[in-house]
Amino acid sequence: MPTIAYYTLGCKVNQYETERYRRDLEVAGFRIVPFNSQADVYVVNTCSVTATADSKSRAAIRRAIKSNRNALIVVTGCYAELEAAQLKNISAKILTVSNSEKDALSALISAQFDSAVETTISELGQVSPNSPPRLRTRAIVKVQDGCDQFCSYCVIPYARPCKPSRSFEDVLSEVQDLTNHGYKEVVLTGIRLGSYGTTQSSESSRLPELISLVSTINGIGRIRLSSIEPWEVSDALLEAMQSPKVCRHLHIPLQSGDDDTLLAMNRPYTAAQYIQIVDRVRRAISGIAVTTDVIVGFPGETEQAFANTRSLVDAIGFSRLHVFRFSPRKRTSAASLPDHVSADEKKRRAEEISDLGTITQRRFASSLIGQSLEVLVEKGGGTGHLVGFSDNYVETRFHGDLSLRGEIVRVKIEAAEHNFLIGSMEGKDEQDR
């Protein structure tokens, strides 16, 4: 059996696509090995959202080449899409697969090993009955691909132009298959999830309708949503999230709390409007966790502009914060803007806003003490305790038997330490109340 190793950078869409390759190629006869070991094939699914992502993508490719110079190195994802010429400089032997060709990646690899694989390419996508059992907890389901927003700092629309969204029937079939194989939670994701179902001729997203349909599937325990843009948080979306199966968590990118900076970023809302959106979300769904992204050091971001962002982050009290230092990307309009912020200043601002994010994260976690939360058990954490995530996306630790892995249990929260909760699992009688 030929061996294959995977390395994935970036978003949940990339994670979903790599998982599909893994499943398809396992059926086709490939055996998975760790990325740092010798393999016949290495698949690197790259990211290009920042200069750091570019650097990590190149490093992963070089690690693969160093591990086995005779291996087939397959590189896909946004870095491969945008910087194909640079890949040739790393090695002429790299097989580059563009984002538009990703659906054929498994077949392309199988075609290189026709004499070695045990099944035909036509079987790709089927679930092998002889596959080794895996822990079934959370699965990512891509329902939408591409973005046409063209935020001034973002290169992704150039790497992933919009494609037609998947049909209701296609998504529901995949979710049903996942639940049949033991998955309790699905994460609906896309490059711009909130635009699911939108076409040039339609007026609104059909994501709320999709959520409602997925919630009717027998066996599904939880539905989680990935990132949603502020202007896509509609009343229909919040109504669909009233289902007890939908996790009380929304990731709503902020990027900046300063109006002038938001305008320069081509973000179509003001700081006040963002606050109103979050207020509306919290009124509709009690106990919901709101997480976000923030970019510091955008060209022209003054100390006062940064202070505005810091003030908004503190006022909203995000339960989790992802902080990025502005990184100029080729092809984007922000790359040519004047008044770039120095690297040292970007570092200072990133550390300051990250520290504030830690404070707001602990503040949210502490607010959950005394509550009873549903937790999806994902692993054992040593010393006899289990680890999982609550529906509002906080890591929770409690004592219990490892046989509960993959199950959703109710936990009474007793304490908050660092970035996680500590609790006790409730008895069945208490959970049934």
Stretch 178-194: mean pLDDT, rounded?
94
Q: What is the pLDDT of residue 254?
A: 98
Q: Between the CA of residue 354 and those of 36, 234, 269, 348, what are the distances in Å? A: 31, 29, 23, 10
Place of tokens 């902080």: 323
Rounded-to-integer distance, Cα 43 and Cα 105, Å: 10
Contact 188, 224 (CB under 8 A): yes
Yes or no: say if 312 and 396 are a contact pair by the CB < 8 Å rule: no
Please report the pLDDT score of residue 380 as a whole number: 87
Q: Are 228 and 267 in contact (CB under 8 A)?
A: no
341 burial level (CB within 10 Å; 0-12, 13-18, 19+): buried
Q: What is the pLDDT, as a whole number, of residue 240?
A: 97
What structural domains does the chain harbor? Answer: 3-123 (3.40.50.12160), 135-247 (3.30.750.210), 248-367 (3.30.750.200), 372-432 (2.40.50.140)
Task: Summarize the confidence of residues 232-249 as an average pLDDT.
Answer: 96
User: Distance between CA atoms of 124 and 134, rounded to whole angstroms?
Assistant: 19
- Please determine, for residue 163, whether its predicted confidence score (pLDDT) is greater than 80: yes
**pLDDT score, position 106:** 92
Please give the pLDDT value at position 59: 96
Q: Which of 170, 182, 187, 175 is nearest to 214 (CA)?
A: 175
- Give residue-wise pLDDT tens across range 1-37: 899 999 999 999 999 999 999 999 998 889 999 999 9
pLDDT tens track for 301-354: 999 999 999 999 999 999 999 999 999 999 999 999 999 999 999 999 999 999
**pTM for this one?**
0.89
Contact between 49 and 56 (Cβ < 8 Å) = no
Query: 31 vs 28, 41, 114, 115, 116, CA distance in Å?
Result: 9, 10, 15, 15, 12
DSSP line for 47-109: --SSHHHHHHHHHHHHHHHHH-TTSEEEEEEHHHHH-HHHHHHH-TT-EE--GGGGGGHHHHH
Is residue 131 over pLDDT 60?
A: no
Query: What's the farthest any 2 CA atoms get from each other in the chain?
Result: 64
Segment 265-280 shows an average pLDDT of 98
Cα–Cα distance measured from residue 214 to residue 250, given in angstroms and rounded to the nearest whole number: 17
Alpha-carbon gap, residue 105 to 124, rounded angstroms: 11
**Closest of 273, 272, 266, 251 to residue 298, by C-alpha:** 266
- In whole angstroms, how far apart are CA 188 and each of 166, 171, 281, 393? 12, 9, 19, 15
Nearest residue to 47 (alpha-carbon basis) of 32, 63, 58: 58
**Mean of the pLDDT values across residues 349-377?**
97
As a whole number of angstroms, the distance between CA 269 and CA 231 comes to 7
Give the C-alpha separation, 431 to 414, whole Å.
16
Q: How many residues does the chain have?
A: 433
**Spatial CB neighbours of 178, under 8 Å, sequence gap ≥ 6:** 139, 141, 186
Give the 3-state secondary structure of residue 314: helix
pLDDT digits 0-9 by tens, 397-417 = 999 998 999 999 999 999 998
Q: Choose among 105, 121, 132: nearest CA to 41.
A: 105
